[in-house]
Amino acid sequence: MAGKHTKSFFDFRKSVYAPSPVIRSNARAPLSLPFKIIIIALVASLVLSSVLVGNFFMQGSSHKKLLNTAAETFASFNSDDALKILAEQNGDIKGWLKIEGADIDCAVCQSDDDTFYINHNQLGKKSRYGALFLSKDDSFERRGNDRNIVIFGNNMKNGTMFGSLKKYRNINFYKQNPFIELYFDDEVQKYAVFSVMLVSSYADDSGEIYKPYKSHFADENDFSLWAEETYARSLINTTVTAKYGDDFLTLVTVADDFDGARLVVMAKKLTDWDSNHIDVSNSKVNAKIKYPKIWYDTRGLEYPH
């Protein structure tokens, strides 16, 4: 990076052999063509870098403004009216997710293309931040005995979208923020987080991919096997129990722990009884977490399961 120019290393002085002063000259040798090319390339690179950096931060600021404006709209009306107003901007807006302690207060979108909202914001415009979204095959209305709503979002370094979900890896944060609110149509549903997991998007363990977002259970035994695996993989023993017939909400984002890592926060829908009896103050870190096999492989450890 260019700084201030230093004085010349060469200081022309009077010669000890000549009585007359040396005539000074400001003329400099012309730059060679290769050197000119190098200078031009450096300047162009500097300008381009400045533009890219400026654009990066401008996008971040613009995205936060978009989220804040939408959140203000949602807070200014009842949830049903607010969602109708937001849907006028983009018909793909189907619901709203709110986790106060995690600063998640965002619209949830859904389109026929499950990859669209990975790189488009909630207005449907191109954006690296993306938007929170449901799979095209999912539904807030839980069609056909669907027990699990799954919402995906990018893990952004500035904390937007699902960038703050990583906070649930901390036991103290979990104890202070165990509840999630979901809004759609005229519905307001409240959930309690009961599992926080690292899973692999690739086959692991016995060659099968564990599916935290499984949505249909054949019977109570099928559910019990799935629930046991869910508890075993949780980073936290939350003390919140799930039972056959419960409805679930699962939040999924990318994690950095290994190639294909996904951080999953899973919650159960609260009943009237749950609302008055759930207490997570005795939650503890799981001392025997079952990680995907790749977690052990990347650390040179033997897979213990």
Q: Give me the pLDDT at residue 207, please.
A: 67
Give the CA distances from residue 291 to residues 41, 90, 126, 263, 295, in Å, rounded to whole numbers and listed in that order.
49, 39, 35, 11, 6
CA dihedral 149, 155, 159, 161 (to 10 degrees): -40
Residues 190, 269 contacting (CB under 8 angstroms)? yes
- What is the spatial distance between Cα 264 and Cα 171, in angstroms, rounded to a whole number? 15
Query: Strand 236-237 vs strand 284-285: parallel, antiparallel, or unpaired?
Result: antiparallel
Per-residue pLDDT of the chain in tens (305 residues, 90 and over written 9): 444 333 332 232 333 333 344 434 455 556 566 666 776 767 656 655 554 444 545 567 889 999 999 999 999 999 999 999 999 999 999 999 999 899 999 999 999 999 999 999 999 999 999 999 999 999 999 888 899 999 999 999 999 999 999 999 999 999 999 999 999 999 999 999 999 999 998 877 666 678 888 999 999 999 999 999 999 999 999 999 999 999 999 999 999 999 999 999 999 999 888 878 899 999 999 999 999 999 999 999 999 98
Exposure of 290 in the CB half-sphere (CA atoms within 13 A): 12
Q: Give me the pLDDT at residue 5, please.
A: 36
Q: Which two tokens stand for residue 186?
A: 């005229």
Distance of CA 21 to the CA centre of its chain: 72
Nearest-CA neighbor of 231 among 222, 247, 242, 217? 242
pTM above 0.75, yes or no: yes
Helices (H), 93-196: 171-176
Q: Which residues in 153-288 belong to E strands, given as ranges?
A: 179-184, 187-200, 236-237, 248-254, 261-269, 284-285
Q: Give me the pLDDT at residue 145, please.
A: 86
Q: Give me the pLDDT at residue 46, please.
A: 64
Distance of CA 248 to the CA centre of its chain: 20
Domains belonging to the chain, first-starting first, are 92-297 (2.40.260.10)
Q: Which residues in 201-240 belong to E strands, given as ranges?
A: 236-237
- What is the spatial distance between Cα 73 and Cα 85, in angstroms, rounded to a whole number? 8
The length of the chain is: 305
Q: Give me the pLDDT at residue 73, please.
A: 94
Residue in the block written with tokens 């401008």: 58
Amino acid letter, 232: A
